[in-house]
Amino acid sequence: MTIEDGGSYRVPSDDGPTGGAAAVSVPSPQAHPRSFTFEVRRLGVANLVVGGASVALMIGILLPWFEFGSDATGYFSFNSVAVRSWMYLAFFAALAIVCLLALRAVFPRLRLPLERVVVLLACGANLLLTVVCFAKKAVGLNWDVGAYLSLAAAVAATGAAAVAATGAAAVAATRATVAAVTRRHRQLSTAPEALWGGQPPHG
């Protein structure tokens, strides 16, 4: 059998008095481009809640937070960043969380060091900023829809992030335990005398 250029090879043939060779074409393999799919099921329920609550927090920060006025003069409202510019920190932290989870949905093998701890700390910081902004209401102002939405979203994101972090820790501990038991089982299977500290039992 002779391999030829162009994706073909020749094999001996019984046709003819002297025998020949028949050419057989082989399709050349083509490199298929790697496709990336966005699958939210890769994240899990807790991370989905974190992502959805973070989006709701970003929306709430930009919605009207405080209002003032009366029926005679009319009502006026403004969002949180109009009076508390540090709420931009909560907005961009929530945006970073959403981007990280979106990357996880596309690249399931993407793992950052202490990822769940960082997400939990970011959600906790957002909750702290939101609570402070909610509590520091000037006299004569009333809370508006943005304040209630942001507070509820920050609480939900922090709670879900805590569940995700503790759940991951429990899974890691379970895996470590299973791995240790498996190693011990293999040791006993290959060297039963290890069960008695290297000394066989006396009958």
SS3 assignment, position 114? coil
Asked whether residue 26 is assigned to any structural domain, the reply reads no
**Is the model more confident about 104 or about 162?**
162
Asked whether residue 21 is assigned to any structural domain, the reply reads no
Asked whether residue 143 is assigned to any structural domain, the reply reads yes
Asked whether residue 71 is assigned to any structural domain, the reply reads yes
Cα distance between residue 164 and residue 46, in whole Å: 6
User: What pLDDT score does 34 carry?
Assistant: 57
Asked whether residue 158 is assigned to any structural domain, the reply reads yes
Nearest Cα to Cα of residue 46 among 166, 126, 161, 154? 161
Alpha helices in the chain (DSSP H): 45-62, 80-83, 87-106, 115-135, 145-190
User: For residue range 108-143, what is the model confidence (pLDDT) as tens digits?
Assistant: 676 766 788 899 999 999 999 999 999 988 787 888
195: pLDDT strictly greater than 70:
no
**Is the model more confident about 27 or about 189?**
189
1: pLDDT strictly greater than 60:
no
Range of lowest pLDDT (11-15, 110-114, 165-169): 11-15
157: pLDDT strictly greater than 80:
yes
Q: By percentage, how much of the chain surpasses pLDDT 90?
A: 33
User: What pLDDT score does 72 carry?
Assistant: 73
Nearest Cα to Cα of residue 61 among 14, 94, 96? 94
Q: How far apart are the first and last CA of the chain?
A: 67
Per the CB < 8 A criterion, the answer to whether 166 and 160 are in contact is no
Asked whether residue 197 is assigned to any structural domain, the reply reads no
Asked whether residue 201 is assigned to any structural domain, the reply reads no
Q: How many C-beta atoms surround the C-beta of residue 25 within 10 A?
A: 10
Q: How many C-beta atoms surround the C-beta of residue 141 within 10 A?
A: 16
Structure tokens at 13: 């043939």
User: For residue range 52-110, what is the model confidence (pLDDT) as tens digits?
Assistant: 999 999 999 999 999 887 777 777 888 889 888 989 999 999 999 999 888 887 876 76
User: What pLDDT score does 156 carry?
Assistant: 95
Where does the pLDDT of residue 174 fall: very low under 50, low under 70, confident under 90, or very high at 90 and above?
low
User: What pLDDT score does 79 carry?
Assistant: 87
> Which DSSP category does 195 fall into?
G
Q: What is the mean pLDDT of the chain?
A: 76
User: What pLDDT score does 60 carry?
Assistant: 95
The torsion angle over the Cα atoms of residues 79, 82, 84 and 88, rounded to 10 degrees, is 80
User: What pLDDT score does 68 carry?
Assistant: 84
Q: Does this model's pTM top 0.75?
A: no
Residues of the domain holding 54: 40-181
Asked whether residue 60 is assigned to any structural domain, the reply reads yes
Q: By percentage, how much of the chain surpasses pLDDT 70?
A: 60
**Domains: count for the chain:** 1
126-132, long-range: CB < 8 A, 24+ apart: 126/54, 126/57, 126/90, 126/93, 126/94, 126/154, 126/157, 126/158, 127/154, 127/155, 127/157, 127/158, 129/86, 129/87, 129/89, 129/90, 130/57, 130/87, 130/90, 130/154
